[in-house]
């Protein structure tokens, strides 16, 4: 397999365009900026993609956050998640919530969106539903600026996990 830094734009974007949920522009901008052997490893490619997001500014960052689905939300129930999101939510048992857990998740999702204007985002791989609900309850107390940065941090964590699965 060719190293990442040797990939043409189309191949690179096809392979890494889904790393950030419905935000192919990050892969496109990463390739456009130029790839070096540093980006052949997940950590290096991740750092390059973070730079793209950081330099994009608040509005593109907000669109990136809004591209994410609610946890165990409408898209999940209607089976309209990306393959990556579906697998991540299933790994945390969100596809098998009890009625009470699902009801609490829905209420938390609605409250969170009304407070912050974007969906609650958490790198859920390997977590339990109860841990996710605890995190939800804690983060809903954050101020908007803190939560915006935390949500971006979670998006980057999700991206790193996806990159590692693609490159390892």
Residues labelled catalytic:
68
DSSP letter, residue 53: H
- Biggest CA–CA distance in the chain, Å, is 50
Here the tokens at position 161 are 């996990």
**118 three-class SS:** coil
Beta-carbon count within 10 A of 79 CB: 8
Buried b (16+ CB within 10 A) or exposed e, 82-110: eebbbebbeebbbeebeeebbebbbebbe
């Amino acid at each position: 397999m060719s190293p990442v830094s040797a990939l043409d734009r189309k191949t690179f974007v096809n392979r890494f365009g889904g790393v950030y949920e419905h935000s192919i522009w990050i892969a496109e901008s990463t390739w456009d900026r130029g790839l070096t052997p540093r980006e052949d490893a997940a950590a290096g490619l991740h750092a390059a993609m973070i730079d793209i997001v950081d330099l994009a500014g608040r509005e593109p960052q907000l669109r990136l956050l809004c591209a994410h689905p609610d946890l165990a939300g409408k898209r999940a129930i209607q089976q309209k998640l990306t393959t990556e999101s579906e697998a991540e939510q299933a790994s945390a048992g969100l596809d098998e919530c009890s009625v009470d857990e699902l009801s609490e998740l829905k209420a938390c999702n609605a409250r969170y969106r009304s407070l912050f204007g974007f969906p609650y985002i958490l790198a859920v791989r390997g977590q339990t539903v109860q841990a996710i609900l605890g995190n939800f309850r804690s983060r809903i107390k954050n101020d908007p600026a803190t939560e915006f940065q935390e949500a971006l941090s979670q998006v980057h964590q999700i991206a790193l996990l996806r990159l590692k699965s693609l490159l390892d």
